[in-house]
């Protein structure tokens, strides 16, 4: 049987990162960040000595500095910030005069959540290299702000450059919030408001932070004017921006209707977001105004760092995103937005255990509690801790008895682990919680249909696939699965081929769907056409045993028997399930009989 496309794109647990706080993209580049392109001989930045020139800095056992550095680089490339931090810290210890290694060690210690260990290294870099230590100064100033030393933090940042890249955004923002912490909000506004008048991409971000600062300073007219610049198209705003502006407006009876209207407009445009509803709907309905989400200089700094991290994550600069997330957490340790993003970044780096830890750190009273627990459960599944993940989803379903989503996620987890009958039971419990099946539920029907078909309950599976197509008529995955299943059973052959052709037209580079088209041609006796499609399927998905097996069958039918044997051997090398492996071995021994294969 041809492999079906996975359901994973539709899992609730694979939701995208939270919308960035930042309203416009930042220019690429991070202040004195380790160059991602350097080689061991070019570890230093800006013309500083490379590794081969600084090994004289301490008497070392042969290769020990190189080994620590190269191990750190390997960990960096593998997306393992914890290991990278340890190796680079060791390299910096072995070469105490090498500022480049201290920079790199401080950077990765911070990305790994070991910020207190990074600060002394950052201080050493700052003291030795006044002109090129913007990030080091930012780290030291953040540590000072976290301890309440705002004057000291301002002094530390006084020589930091605000030219180029992220510096032109971050340094003014951080200075402004440090001024707020130092009791000088009017001076902070003098920094931020002129920048809000500048051209994009940063003007809207400065307007947002200017509004936050003005609101804290009690300058409501200024805050209202700055926030008003952002709400012309409220549907496109990040959730955090909507939350902050709505809270500001709800605090004043005169502007409260506008605050409720902002929430209603946003929720209408984002009706499928349970997170937005969980966060904003209680604000809209509350009899008293909710507290503002940003009430201190530390909160403001955390917002600036989180926004930068969100933007870096969208630009695929995951290490840099983690660094700014940990700066945010240094000044606001229970910042739920930052903890969720930290978990999402760990998940993207395929570090599910670290993701679980981040999600579990979200405070229990946060509006993100449901999301955090859901993603923690999903990460447990990705870590192959199946029973823990199952218990976590069951607990979530018990604590939110009105929500079907935890049981859908549980069904997905069980289905992906080939526990199909148990998956059907979970899906059935989820559907029992639905008052009405809506068009967006087509993927739930599709998932249950797969579990039903794989557990031998074809009539119910067929009903689910038909209903999914009624809700989403041209959905390529459903067209492919149902069409293939019909062909495999000799049912509705022409209709099935037409459905698969429609799926291929939408997803011509999906090897599984192209395989279905080839197998459809094979089963209907069009062996030359089958070869053409199946060769393309193998080129698109080269390591799938079933697709390679199908190509071998098609080669045999057109007389290319040596190539058929090669494809069958290739299919065996990809660890097929025992039943398919036995079938392939039999074909290697005896070839095919006269009837087309329908494995």
Q: Residues 6 or more apart from 74 whose CB is under 8 A from it? A: none
CATH number for the domain that contains residue 507: 1.25.40.10
> Tell me, what's the pLDDT at 166?
76
Do residue 194 and residue 256 come from a single domain?
yes
- Which candidate, 154, 60, 156, 147, places its Cα nearest to that of 101? 60
Cα separation, 177 vs 40, whole angstroms: 38
Neighbours of 588 (CB within 10 A): 15
Measured torsion, CA atoms of residues 339, 340, 345, 350, in degrees rounded to the nearest 10: 110
Task: Kindly state whether residue 31 falls inside one of the protein's structural domains.
Answer: no
Q: How close are the terminal C-alpha atoms of the chain, in Å?
A: 5
Task: Specify whether the CB–CB gap between 375 and 344 falls below 8 A.
Answer: yes
Q: Which of 237, 268, 297 is the last residue of a domain?
A: 297
Task: Kindly state whether residue 20 falls inside one of the protein's structural domains.
Answer: no
Do residue 235 and residue 92 come from a single domain?
yes
DSSP 518-560: HHHHHHTT-HHHHHHHHHHHHHHSTT-HHHHHHHHHHHHHTT-
Among 124-138, 208-222, 366-380, 416-430, where is mean pLDDT lowest?
Answer: 124-138
Task: Kindly indicate the confidence band of residue 328, based on its pLDDT and cuts at 50, 70 and 90.
Answer: very high
Can you read off the two tokens belonging to residue 60?
Answer: 């070392």
Q: Which of 256, 276, 297 is the last residue of a domain?
A: 297
Task: Kindly state whether residue 33 falls inside one of the protein's structural domains.
Answer: no
Can you read off the two tokens belonging to residue 555?
Answer: 């080669």
344-394 confidence digits (pLDDT tens): 999 999 999 999 999 999 999 999 999 999 999 999 999 999 999 999 999
Do residue 230 and residue 278 come from a single domain?
yes
Q: Residues 6 or more apart from 132 whose CB is under 8 A from it? A: 32, 45, 46
Q: Is the pLDDT of residue 17 over 50?
A: no
Q: Is the pLDDT of residue 198 over 60?
A: yes
Q: What proportion of the chain, given as a percentage, has pLDDT over 90?
A: 77
Q: Is the pLDDT of residue 15 over 60?
A: no
Do residue 284 and residue 389 come from a single domain?
no
Task: Kindly state whether residue 453 falls inside one of the protein's structural domains.
Answer: yes
Q: Is the pLDDT of residue 517 over 70?
A: yes
> Tell me, what's the pLDDT at 141?
96
245-280 confidence digits (pLDDT tens): 999 999 999 999 999 999 999 999 987 788 899 899
Query: What DSSP state is assigned to residue 34?
Result: P
Task: Please give the C-alpha separations between residue 119 and each of 42, 106, 171, 459, in angstroms, as whole numbers.
Answer: 24, 7, 18, 64
Task: Kindly state whether residue 584 falls inside one of the protein's structural domains.
Answer: yes
> Tell me, what's the pLDDT at 274?
85
Task: Kindly state whether residue 315 falls inside one of the protein's structural domains.
Answer: no
> Tell me, what's the pLDDT at 334?
95
Task: Specify whether the CB–CB gap between 192 and 206 falls below 8 A.
Answer: yes
Measured torsion, CA atoms of residues 572, 574, 579, 584, in degrees rounded to the nearest 10: -20
Average pLDDT over residues 551-573: 97
Neighbours of 20 (CB within 10 A): 23
Do residue 274 and residue 396 come from a single domain?
no
CA-based R_g, the chain, Å? 29
Task: Kindly state whether residue 116 falls inside one of the protein's structural domains.
Answer: yes
Among 46-50, 416-420, 527-531, where is mean pLDDT lowest?
Answer: 46-50
> Tell me, what's the pLDDT at 402?
94
Q: Is the pLDDT of residue 42 over 70?
A: no
Q: Is the pLDDT of residue 81 over 80?
A: yes
Q: Angle at CA 555, nearest 5°, toward 551 and 558? A: 140
Q: Which of 473, 502, 537 is the last residue of a domain?
A: 473
179-188 confidence digits (pLDDT tens): 999 999 999 9
Do residue 519 and residue 598 come from a single domain?
yes
- Which candidate, 482, 403, 408, 469, places its Cα nearest to that of 442? 469
Task: Kindly state whether residue 220 falls inside one of the protein's structural domains.
Answer: yes
408-443 confidence digits (pLDDT tens): 999 999 999 999 999 999 999 999 999 999 999 999
Angle at which helices 336-348 and 297-314 pack, to 10 degrees?
Answer: 20
Do residue 449 and residue 511 come from a single domain?
no
Do residue 173 and residue 214 come from a single domain?
yes
> Tell me, what's the pLDDT at 201?
67
State how far Cα 7 lies from the chain centre.
Answer: 17
Q: Is the pLDDT of residue 56 over 60?
A: no
Task: Kindly indicate the confidence band of residue 134, based on its pLDDT and cuts at 50, 70 and 90.
Answer: confident
- Which candidate, 255, 351, 410, 359, places its Cα nearest to that of 18? 359
> Tell me, what's the pLDDT at 39?
26
Cα separation, 205 vs 226, whole angstroms: 10
Among 54-63, 76-85, 171-180, 397-406, where is mean pLDDT lowest?
Answer: 54-63
> Tell me, what's the pLDDT at 596?
53
Task: Kindly indicate the confidence band of residue 31, based on its pLDDT and cuts at 50, 70 and 90.
Answer: very low
Task: Kindly indicate the confidence band of residue 20, based on its pLDDT and cuts at 50, 70 and 90.
Answer: very low
Is the N-terminal amide bond of 515 cis, ω within 30° of 0? Answer: no
Task: Kindly indicate the confidence band of residue 174, based on its pLDDT and cuts at 50, 70 and 90.
Answer: very high
Task: Kindly indicate the confidence band of residue 34, based on its pLDDT and cuts at 50, 70 and 90.
Answer: very low
Do residue 49 and residue 85 come from a single domain?
yes
Do residue 97 and residue 245 come from a single domain?
yes
Enter the pTM of the model: 0.84
Angle at which helices 369-382 and 352-360 pack, to 10 degrees?
Answer: 160
Q: Is the pLDDT of residue 337 over 70?
A: yes
Do residue 521 and residue 545 come from a single domain?
yes
Q: Is the pLDDT of residue 53 over 70?
A: no
What is the domain extent for residue 396?
A: 385-473
Q: State how many domains the chain has.
A: 3
Q: Is the pLDDT of residue 544 over 50?
A: yes
Do residue 435 and residue 413 come from a single domain?
yes
Q: Is the pLDDT of residue 339 over 80?
A: yes
Q: Is the pLDDT of residue 499 over 80?
A: yes
Q: Is the pLDDT of residue 61 over 50?
A: no
Between 39 and 324, the higher pLDDT residue: 324
Exposed/middle/buried for residue 333 (C-beta within 10 Å: 0-12, 13-18, 19+): middle
DSSP 299-350: HHHHHHHHHHHHHHHHTT-HHHHHHHHHHHHHH-TT-HHHHHHHHHHHHHTT
């Amino acid at each position: 049987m041809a492999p079906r496309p996975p359901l994973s794109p539709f899992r609730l647990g694979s939701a995208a990162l939270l919308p960035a706080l930042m309203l416009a993209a930042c220019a690429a580049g991070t202040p004195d960040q380790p160059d991602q392109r350097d080689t061991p001989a070019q570890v230093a930045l800006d013309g500083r000595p490379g590794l081969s020139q600084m090994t004289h800095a301490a008497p070392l056992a042969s290769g020990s500095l190189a080994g620590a550095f190269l191990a750190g680089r390997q960990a960096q490339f593998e997306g393992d910030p914890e290991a990278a931090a340890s190796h680079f810290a060791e390299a910096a210890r072995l070469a105490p005069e090498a500022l480049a290694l201290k920079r790199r060690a401080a950077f990765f210690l911070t990305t790994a959540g070991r910020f207190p260990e990074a600060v002394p290294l950052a201080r050493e870099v700052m003291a030795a290299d006044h002109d090129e230590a913007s990030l080091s100064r930012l780290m030291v100033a953040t540590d000072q702000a976290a301890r309440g030393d705002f004057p000291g933090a301002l002094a530390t940042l006084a020589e930091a450059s605000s030219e180029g890249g992220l510096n032109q955004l971050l340094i003014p923002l951080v200075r402004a919030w440090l001024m707020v912490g130092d009791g000088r909000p009017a001076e902070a506004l003098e920094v931020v408001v002129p920048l809000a008048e500048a051209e994009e991409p940063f003007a809207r971000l400065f307007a947002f932070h200017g509004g936050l600062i003005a609101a804290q300073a009690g300058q409501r007219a200024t805050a209202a004017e700055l926030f008003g610049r952002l709400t012309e198209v409220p549907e496109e705003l990040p959730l955090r921006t909507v939350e902050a502006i709505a809270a500001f407006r709800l605090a004043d009876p005169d502007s409260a209707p506008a605050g409720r209207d902002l929430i209603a407009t946003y929720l209408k445009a984002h009706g499928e977001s349970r997170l937005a509803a969980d966060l904003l709907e209680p604000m809209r309905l509350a009899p008293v105004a909710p507290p503002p989400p940003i009430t201190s200089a530390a909160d403001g700094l955390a917002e600036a760092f989180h926004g930068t991290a969100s933007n870096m994550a969208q630009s695929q600069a995951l290490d840099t995103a983690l660094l700014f997330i940990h700066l945010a957490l240094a000044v606001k340790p229970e910042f739920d937005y930052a903890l969720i993003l930290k978990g999402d970044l760990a998940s993207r780096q395929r570090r599910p255990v670290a993701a679980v830890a981040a999600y579990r750190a979200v405070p229990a009273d946060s509006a993100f509690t449901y999301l955090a627990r859901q993603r923690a459960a999903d990460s447990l599944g990705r870590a192959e801790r199946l029973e823990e993940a199952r218990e976590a989803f069951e607990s979530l379903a018990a604590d939110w008895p009105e929500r079907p989503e935890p049981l859908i996620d549980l069904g997905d987890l069980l289905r992906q682990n080939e526990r199909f009958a148990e998956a059907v039971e979970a899906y059935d419990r989820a559907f029992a919680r639905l008052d009405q099946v809506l068009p967006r539920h087509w993927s739930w029907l599709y998932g249950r249909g797969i579990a039903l078909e794989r557990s031998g309950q074809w009539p119910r599976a067929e009903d689910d696939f038909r209903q999914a197509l009624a809700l989403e008529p041209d959905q390529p995955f459903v067209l492919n699965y149902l069409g293939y299943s019909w062909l495999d059973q000799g049912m509705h052959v022409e209709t099935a081929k037409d459905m698969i052709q429609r799926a291929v037209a939408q997803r011509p580079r999906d090897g599984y769907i192209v395989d279905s088209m080839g197998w459809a041609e094979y089963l209907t006796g069009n062996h030359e056409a089958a070869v053409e499609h199946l060769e393309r399927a193998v080129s698109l998905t080269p390591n799938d045993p079933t697709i390679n097996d199908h190509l071998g069958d098609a080669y045999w039918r057109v007389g290319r028997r040596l190539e058929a044997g090669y494809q069958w051997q290739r299919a065996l090398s990809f660890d097929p399930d025992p039943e398919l492996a036995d079938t392939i071995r039999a074909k290697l021994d005896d070839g095919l009989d006269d009837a087309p294969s329908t494995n």
